[in-house]
Chain A
Amino acid sequence: MENYLVAMLVFAGVYALLALGLNVVWGMAGMINLGLVGFFGLGAYVAALLARRAGWPMAAGLPAAALVAAGAGALVALVTARLRGDYLAIVTLGFSEVVRVTASNEIWLTNGTDGISGIPGPWRGQVSPAAFNLIYLGLVAAAVLVVLVALERVRHSPYGRVLRAIRDDDQVATVAGKPVRAFKVEAFALSAAILGLAGALYAHYTSYIAPEAFAPLISIYIVLALTAGGTGNNHGAVLGAALVVFFMESTRFVTGALPGLSAVQAAAVREMLIGASLILVLRVRPAGLVPERIRPVPVR
């Protein structure tokens, strides 16, 4: 039971990183990314391949995964720079599907749908599984804390203010002389780096990744986490991620307790609940549990 709880906390940490990553583009800069699972998967595959094929240590694999994801993010941002918000939603969703289809079909590189197993984790096998879980929880918690503090600095900096200005009205930001396109590309790259880092941490924790782990539903989980927590608010993102993991795990027990449901039906009920709760949150509390607070500009 303890191991289960610790494992859930690790997943909550990974989800918190994803929600923080999404918050950079969606919460701060106002660009939706419904394909965030694509960057998550990209980071996971880069880390897994570097560790398994090239024998890189995890300490080198994590930044490499973040960098590759950031590059992909910049590229996606560049080609979609002229797209309106609702177009961006489906194009990013398409991007994540392209990543998944590539991972399933480029068998020479990714081992296809069989996935990559035996990804090393820090001291895995040398210490007891319980101790490994705790070490990893510490690692993920540290990553969440570092990213959270860094993003809070970004949010309160003049840079973060420009991003919010672009979110609220990019024409005004352009008129004020801000290079809007460059800001958007940078925000997308920063966001993708965090998503890629989350993917690398996920891969090293589970030791096994396969394309089906990066289904579009994960993106919806994270949109739900951020919307429930409070779009634009970094603390809200972390809180929302913890709530979504807690909610998903409790639905596992609820559907397990319902008699007469097959495994497929139980899974269907859980996914229905996730979708329905996102709709409900949008309807009842669109600003989230911890709405974004913007400090008023001091009057001199």
Chain B
Amino acid sequence: MLGEVGQLLINGLVAGTILAVPAIGFTAIYAVLRFPNFSLASHLTIGAFAGYAANVSWGWPATGAVLVAFVVAGLAGVLNDELVLKPLRPAGVLTTAIAAVALTIVLENVVRFVWGNELRGYDLPIQRDWHVAGLRIGAQQVKNLGIAVGAMLAVFAFLAWTRTGKAMRAVADNPTLADIKGVDPDRVARLVNFAGMGLAGIGGMLVGLDTSIDPLTGFRVILSVFAAAVVGGLGSIPGAVVGALTIGVGEELSLLVLAPAYRTAVGFAAILLVLTLRPRGILGERAY
């Protein structure tokens, strides 16, 4: 029993760290543009398939293919926002959110049109799992963990030390003041879309490395991503990490009492619980 809990905890921490990557993307876009961009689901899928193309069709190693996932999903994010969501933003948060769901359906079907419905796996070297004190850890899990932590460190360094990162935080904190100080809001919007959707793409690839991918990959995890962002405090980047770890561990521990199919219900329950007890999330809404 104790060993089982330990194994679930480890799996949960790995899953939560992976979940944190798209959750940071979601919360960063929310912090700057102030609407929940549910089309992150389809960008996650786009990243997963871009990485698949690089990995399987061109024969790149998975670690390099992650970069392709980031760039392709990021560029798609900028393009889709410019063409579809940006013109709708003046119509209100809810209209934009509904349009983002519709956009997800369109993009998901573009992927389905090209690759079909079947499950696909990445081309990975076969490695033996590691056994430490009775707990099983996959070598690929450790690599995924490394990629996820690397991506997160890059985000924190970018926000803390670069001029553009500071501009982003300024817009998230007070858009009017940032505008007066000469920060171009459109440029920051494009940047946050590129970075946020790019992180979603990395997240999609990491989820796929763990299991397999299909056009619904993003749709299946979007509730967990949203739950992570909400639980940690929508708009807070450290909050997204805390929230993702909470959701990841919570989903794994739920396996002790629930059938695996009901994992999605955990995110749902977590949103309701946190919003009822602590409406602004664990860390509140401060961007950074």
Contacts and interface: CB of A to CB of B under 8 A. Distances in A.
Contact of A286 (B95, B109, B226): B95
Contacts of B102: 220, 224, 275-276, 278-279, 282
Interface stretch (A11-19, A93-101, A175-183, A243-251): A93-101
Interface of B: 35-36, 38, 84, 87-88, 91, 93-95, 97-99, 101-106, 108-110, 112-113, 116-117, 219, 222-223, 226, 230, 259, 261-262, 264-265, 267-268, 271-272, 275-276, 279
A206 interface: no
Given A82-B279, A90-B226, A268-B109, 13 more contacts: A82-B276, A86-B35, A89-B36, A89-B97, A90-B36, A98-B264, A98-B268, A101-B265, A216-B219, A272-B109, A275-B102, A276-B106, A286-B91
B261 A87 contact: no
Query: How would you classify the secondary structure of chain B's contact residues: helix, strand, loop or mixed?
Result: helix
A295 interface: no
Interface residues of A, number: 43
A264 interface: yes
A85 interface: yes
A79 B272 contact: yes
A268 B113 contact: yes
B106 A93 contact: no
Contacts of B108: 271
Nearest to A274: B105
Interface of A: 32, 34, 79-80, 82-83, 85-87, 89-91, 93-95, 97-98, 101-102, 104-105, 216-217, 220, 223-224, 227, 262, 264-265, 267-269, 271-272, 274-276, 278-279, 282-283, 286
A94 B101 contact: no
A93 B104 CA distance: 14
Contacts, number: 123
A32 B271 contact: no
A239 B264 CA distance: 35
A282 B226 contact: no
Contact of B106 (A87, A95, A275, A286): A275
B271 A91 contact: yes
A275 B72 CA distance: 22
Nearest to A83: B275
Given A87-B275, A105-B262, A271 B35 contact: no
Nearest to B268: A94
Contacts of A282: 88, 91, 95, 98-99, 102
